[in-house]
Structure 1
Amino acid sequence: MTAALVAGLLAGYGIAIPVGAVATYLVSLTARTSLRTGVCAALGVATADGLYALVAALGGSALAGTLQPVLLPLRWASGLVLAALAIRGAVSAFRQYRGQRLAARSGEDPPHPARAYLALLGITLLNPTTVIYFTALVLGSRTADAVRPLEQGVFVLAAFAASASWQLLLAGGGALLGRALTGHRGRLVTALASSVVITVLAVRMLVAPP
């Protein structure tokens, strides 16, 4: 039981801590909206990690081979969605800045927390690397019969908790960043920097070898 708990925590932090496009977008979204929206978005990411951990725990190492034929389409879909988010964020920031309404966020309603949750859930689910990671790291050397259902449950819950704690930390950082950058220019620079980083990461995802 303890081994399953530790394995789940390590797996959850291992997939969550590396800062990529999704983490960058999460911080930027919280900075531009509110902590409540950021928390919901963070839980969306953690839910996707938890679901992939569940699939890996139930499917075992054979699941990685099953997903191999669709890895390229999923990678392209994920990269294109992230690129679209980067472009949308930059265009929105420019419009608000030119209209001198950036600080008040008027003219465009902030995303509803539920919508932010579903958006980040969907983006994270598009990344097949997550399930490959969980399978290879924890279950790749064991057969499905060797893992008891209770241990599988502990592993999945621990992975979700680890991912959620890190994503919530990122959301908190985004909220602090939003409070610090109250001026028009500060928010514009932050939004553009985030869009650039997300675009670079999306391009790297699209051009990476299979």
Structure 2
Amino acid sequence: MTAPVVAGALAGYGIAVPVGAIGAVLVGLAARTSPRVAAAAALGVASADGVYAALAVTGGAALTPVLAPVAGPLRWASVVVLVALAAHTAVSAWRRYRAGDTPRAEAPPPSAARAYASFLGLTLLNPATVVYFTALVVGGTATGSGALFALAAFAASASWQLLLAGGGVLLGRVLAGRRGRLTTALVSSAVIVALAVRLVLPE
């Protein structure tokens, strides 16, 4: 019982800890919204990792050749979504700053359910995640119970994503002023665009 739990936890941290574009989006969202919304978004990312871990242990070897032809289009779709999100974040922050952050200018934050669904969908656009978990399964790393492996991967990913969300919330409290929030949004948008571009650049 211990082996699949340890393997799943290591796999979950392995895919979650390198902070990519999704992590940057998460931190930026957490800095601008509430801890509840940030936690829901973090669990959306972790749920996608858990889904892909489960797919890997139940048929990842068969899914890999199916996903290979659409990996490129999915990657480009992810880039488009991320760049659009970055642009929306930057433009909205600039408009709020110019308007003086009056109540009318402040856009309502997303609900926890919407944040969860958005981050789940965005993370599911990344076929590299299922390829990563499949490689571990085919390589024999995910031994024992597949359910325990997937649950452990989800738990590990969730703990890291929640840590990122908590850091974003603290950052938002530190930079609570008009300029602080504008700076946070613009830096977050720039990082997201840079990481999105890296998705389609040759290694």
Letter in 2 for 1:167: Q
Do structure 1's residue 201 and structure 2's residue 187 form an aligned pair? no
In structure 1, the residue matched to 2:147 is 153
Q: Deviations over 1:40-77 (max 9, x none)?
A: 00000000000000000100323222211110010000
Count of residue pairs brought into register by the alignment: 202
In structure 2, the residue matched to 1:46 is 46
In structure 2, the residue matched to 1:80 is 80
- Residue 106 of structure 1 and its aligned partner are, at CA, apart by 4.5
TM-score normalised to the size of structure 2?
A: 0.95
Between 13-22 and 65-74, the greater mean CA deviation after superposition? 65-74
Mapped contact 2:8–2:150 kept (Cα < 8 A): yes
Q: Deviations over 1:67-116 (max 9, x none)?
A: 111100100001110011000000000000000107x6853101111100
In structure 2, the residue matched to 1:139 is 137
Mapped contact 1:96–1:105 kept (Cα < 8 A): no
Between 106-115 and 165-174, the greater mean CA deviation after superposition? 106-115
Do structure 1's residue 190 and structure 2's residue 184 form an aligned pair? yes
Stretches of structure 2 lacking an aligned partner (at least 5 in a row): none
In structure 1, the residue matched to 2:17 is 17
Letter in 1 for 2:130: V
Mapped contact 1:64–1:132 kept (Cα < 8 A): yes
In structure 2, the residue matched to 1:3 is 3
Distance in 2 (CA, whole Å) between partners of 1:141 and 1:178 is 42
Q: Deviations over 1:146-190 (max 9, x none)?
A: 965xx1011010000000000000111011011101111111111
Q: Deviations over 1:118-141 (max 9, x none)?
A: 0000000000010000111x2122
In structure 1, the residue matched to 2:117 is 118
Stretches of structure 1 lacking an aligned partner (at least 5 in a row): none
Identity %: 61
Mapped contact 1:53–1:159 kept (Cα < 8 A): yes
Which consecutive aligned stretches of 4+ in structure 1 deviate over 6 angstroms post-superposition? none
TM-score normalised to the size of structure 1?
A: 0.92
Compared CA separation, residues 171 and 162, structure 1 to 2 (3 A): same
The 5-angstrom pairing of residues 25-104 of structure 1 reads 25-101=25-101
Distance in 2 (CA, whole Å) between partners of 1:92 and 1:186 is 14
Distance in 2 (CA, whole Å) between partners of 1:176 and 1:128 is 31
Mapped contact 1:11–1:134 kept (Cα < 8 A): yes
Letter in 1 for 2:119: L
Coordinate RMSD, CA, aligned: 1.6
Distance in 2 (CA, whole Å) between partners of 1:176 and 1:67 is 38
| Paired residue secondary structure (1:56) | helix
Distance in 2 (CA, whole Å) between partners of 1:206 and 1:117 is 26
